[in-house]
Structure 1
Amino acid sequence: MGRGLISLEALGAHGTFRARNRMAVSDVSGTPVAELSLVPRLYVTRSMAAMHRAHTLPLAERIAALTRAARLFTEGVIGGLTFNEYERVVSRVSGVPIGVVREAAAAVADSAKQAGSTAFEARPAGAVGDWRDPLTREGRAVWTRRGDVFAVHAAGNHPGPHGLWLEALALGYRVAVRPSRREPFTPHRLITALRAAGFGEDHVALLPTDHDAADELLRRSDLGMVYGGDEVVRKYAGTNVLPQGPGRSKILITRDRDWRDHLDTIVGSIGDQGGVACINATAVFVEGDPAPVAEAIAERLADLPSLPPEDEKAVLPVQPAESARAIEAFVLGRAAGLRAWLGDEGLVEELGDGSAVLRPAVYQLDRPDAEQAGIEVPFPCVWVAPWSRANGIAPLRGTLVLTAITGDDELVDRLLDEPTISNVYHGDHPTYWIRPGVPHDGYLGEFLMRTKTVIRD
């Protein structure tokens, strides 16, 4: 490795650890920019044991530390990087446009500042937070943790998800994070800030591992959260590990609404965030002829520029050229025989440095239950399909966010009643809308906490 590489050490329960096993982290051109320490299984075991032995900070101290960490995260020099330098390296390594990284990093800091309130939004109205509350003298539900140590296998496609596990810290969990090898900078910076703000080394840890030691992190925790694809969802469904899978977010436009009035929302839902997030729309269902909608979407998306991710005007994701070509081959293979409004001449535009932009694609389906409508890829790629009342809500199932542009309140009732649709946005609201305090895929507190009845003298 050349000089000037950023050193990302493990942050274990007994301090910073420089492992002998080190992995290069490269940018989208293939140039190494950092070395990441990969800890062995025994190190994970010992760190997790220390976290189980630790004592949770009082609530007021946790909230104050989270607030201080938010400021350190955005204002401090951490690991030799200013906040602006951190944003640039995340953009270069992940390929996410710099503007998206900037917004996401600000949202993570905001999540830290607000975790003291947002984490408790999930508490049942009939429950109190402490057995000492005067209401428990007459008998009351008390909201309590289901465990003490929470493990996270983090995502690497976007910095934003790191704002979620901060709620576990607010609720009193000790948290161990296994960072993505694709983008370890955000959790490293965040955990360093949390420790400097007052959380102990045995309260929040960064444990990069190889695949062999990854499951040890989950085995040694009380509860866990893992990001991944459908295989991850199937593996962990119904266990003490909460899977965070593909979003497959969708838009439905019924006949009583003019889609032209909502084109900005439709296109923004597809392309905002660079199209890499689980809350980006991957399918649009139209009651009526989908062709005019697909054509209008394609006209808008075709104008987006191909630029390096660190360019202030960049809006599309960038990957190493080889990876981009593999994604292109997959999408073109699945789209064979479909009408391509955009993307028929290829999806990749190489930038000349070993990296390539993934350009938007728009395909028209001939039926709403076509399997392609469930394909989610990390760039603006949308499948536009016809839909009718006779199809019902079956084609809309398995959705993180569904924007329903309709005046049919009975249909909205049915969408809300569907268990596999996590969030319903009624009207002109983009699928990427989110703010602290509202559930993403249910409240994290629903998974981390439970109620116990307490009555006392």
Structure 2
Amino acid sequence: MLALDTLGPGGTYRSRRLETLRDVTGNPVATLSLAPSLYVTRAMKALRRAPELPLDARIEAIAAAGWAFATERVAGLTVQEYQHTVSVSTGLPITVVRTATEDIARAAERIHHSVGNARPTGAVGSWHDPLTRSGRAVWTRRGDVFAVHAAGNHPAVHQGWLDVLALGYRVAVRPSRREPFTPYRLITALREAGFGEDRIVLLPTDHRAADDILRHADLGMVYGGADVVRKYAGDPRILPQGPGRSKILITAEVDWEPILDTLVESIAGGAGVGCVNATGVLVEGDPAPVAAALAERLAALPSLPPTDDRAVLPVMPLEPARRWDEHLRKLAAGTKAWLGGDGIVDDLGDGSAVLRPAIHQLDSPFADQLGRELGFPCAWIAPWEPSAGIAPLRDSLVLTAVTSDSALVDALVAEPSIANVYIGDHPTPWMAPGLPHDGYIAEFVMRTKTVLR
């Protein structure tokens, strides 16, 4: 049993309230210490008092921590032991966890490049820059303390707040109780690399104390579903990170068969659990052939325990898996099921089950299901015509547009609710360090001010 203590400003802290974390088969894996409200308040105040680490030291420490995170023994675990723990606890295939480990290390290594790309070209990083003698925009923080309510669906979400740490914020992370292992390991590595105990903390809490973390921060980022987005939509201090609702559009002049691998990767890559996985595929003309081809390919994916190197699908405890199946059946009522209509639960016989892919065909690009994102490979295939315009494509984290219509691409790039546009044969999960995910997070936590000296 691992003991995951709170990582506070005075070191580790073990609360009286301990929560047992279990793997997908129901076996206990770790105990998680839940920090009470008073401890949270004191920790947040300590962050505010902490001195800022110089920029070069921050960049160096983040890069070193990323290397340690991916290669060395941290918090008592080798990287292989850490990856195994995440895989059995979350049900993510072990290969997905390994890739996420590499992604986090690469993001840490290139953190200077990432934050540099976000800074306006007309701004300098410090008032000490000689250019301020004649007047210059200076890139400055909007606050000092940043809070993160992290997601537990994928380890790689923890790349997001590294930029904030590099920009000089002191950071408090409230981990998901489903997957606290990644932030625990990463924060431990960051502390050992030079950030110390008073510049970054890990505060596992219940929901009541979680609000205290945000209340005592200057700015925050919160992951969650549509309900979370609605809750914080009117709060200018909070950046909500909700469902991705990523989509693919295929127009009539394009032959879709050569890009079938890309369609499959978009839906099921990384076990299909990410906000960048395609939720909807819109086809100009008859969508049935595309739906049939996708169903055939996805049906061939194996059902395996998450620690098997050949595993590609998510696994969860049997009863929650059955609830997902029931939810999908209700949601898909009235659609044509090409895959998953007779159930998506594949019982592994050890208390866990694989969530199999689902493909459903819709009658209209305006059907409600098109925006419903689920935690496994599930895509809604819909017809699309130019007369429908870009309305069915709005509210997408990623949109892959397989088209030669430049005017359509112009409209998609200009649409504010589409965060990223990939033109042609590119899977929706594609990402690269230094490029914005849902905009640069620096756009939220930084501002420019004119300095003349």
Q: How high is the TM-score relative to the length of structure 2?
A: 0.99
The residue type equivalent to 1:160 in the other structure is A
The residue number in structure 2 matching 1:34 is: 30
> Map of 1:325-344 to 2, 5 A cutoff?
325-344=322-341
What SS does the corresponding residue of 1:340 show, helix, strand or coil? strand
* Counterpart Cα distance in 2 of 1:72 and 1:339: 49
* Counterpart Cα distance in 1 of 2:70 and 2:258: 38
2:167 to 171, 189, 205: 171
* Counterpart Cα distance in 2 of 1:250 and 1:53: 44
User: 4+ residue stretches of structure 1 with deviation over 4 A?
Assistant: none
The residue number in structure 1 matching 2:433 is: 436
What SS does the corresponding residue of 1:120 show, helix, strand or coil? helix
**How many Å apart are 1:76 and its aligned residue?**
2.0
* Counterpart Cα distance in 2 of 1:445 and 1:93: 32
* Counterpart Cα distance in 2 of 1:9 and 1:306: 35
> Map of 1:28-427 to 2, 5 A cutoff?
28-238=24-234, 239-427=236-424
**How many Å apart are 1:80 and its aligned residue?**
2.0
Query: Do 1:368 and 1:385's aligned partners in 2 also have CA atoms closer than 8 Å?
Result: yes
**How many Å apart are 1:261 and its aligned residue?**
1.4
**How many Å apart are 1:116 and its aligned residue?**
1.8
* Counterpart Cα distance in 1 of 2:64 and 2:363: 53
Which structure 2 segments of 5+ residues have no match? none
**How many Å apart are 1:67 and its aligned residue?**
1.4
What SS does the corresponding residue of 2:275 show, helix, strand or coil? coil
What SS does the corresponding residue of 1:160 show, helix, strand or coil? helix
What SS does the corresponding residue of 1:152 show, helix, strand or coil? strand
**How many Å apart are 1:337 and its aligned residue?**
2.2
**How many Å apart are 1:438 and its aligned residue?**
0.5
* 1:87-120 per-position Cα deviation (integer Å, ceiling 9, x unaligned): 0110000111110110011101111111122022
* 1:265-300 per-position Cα deviation (integer Å, ceiling 9, x unaligned): 111100001000000001100000000000000000
What SS does the corresponding residue of 1:368 show, helix, strand or coil? coil
The residue number in structure 1 matching 2:21 is: 25
What SS does the corresponding residue of 1:379 show, helix, strand or coil? coil
* Counterpart Cα distance in 2 of 1:417 and 1:63: 34
* Counterpart Cα distance in 2 of 1:146 and 1:377: 35
What SS does the corresponding residue of 2:110 show, helix, strand or coil? helix
How large is the Cα RMSD of the aligned pairs? Answer: 0.7
* 1:383-425 per-position Cα deviation (integer Å, ceiling 9, x unaligned): 0000000100001111000000000010000001111111000
Query: Do 1:270 and 1:382's aligned partners in 2 also have CA atoms closer than 8 Å?
Result: yes
Which structure 1 segments of 5+ residues have no match? none
* Counterpart Cα distance in 2 of 1:227 and 1:147: 20
The residue type equivalent to 1:450 in the other structure is R
* Counterpart Cα distance in 1 of 2:170 and 2:305: 38
* Counterpart Cα distance in 1 of 2:447 and 2:76: 41
Query: Do 1:253 and 1:406's aligned partners in 2 also have CA atoms closer than 8 Å?
Result: yes
**How many Å apart are 1:236 and its aligned residue?**
1.1
What SS does the corresponding residue of 2:439 show, helix, strand or coil? coil
Query: Do 1:120 and 1:445's aligned partners in 2 also have CA atoms closer than 8 Å?
Result: no
Aligned residues: 452
* Counterpart Cα distance in 1 of 2:143 and 2:110: 23
What SS does the corresponding residue of 2:140 show, helix, strand or coil? strand
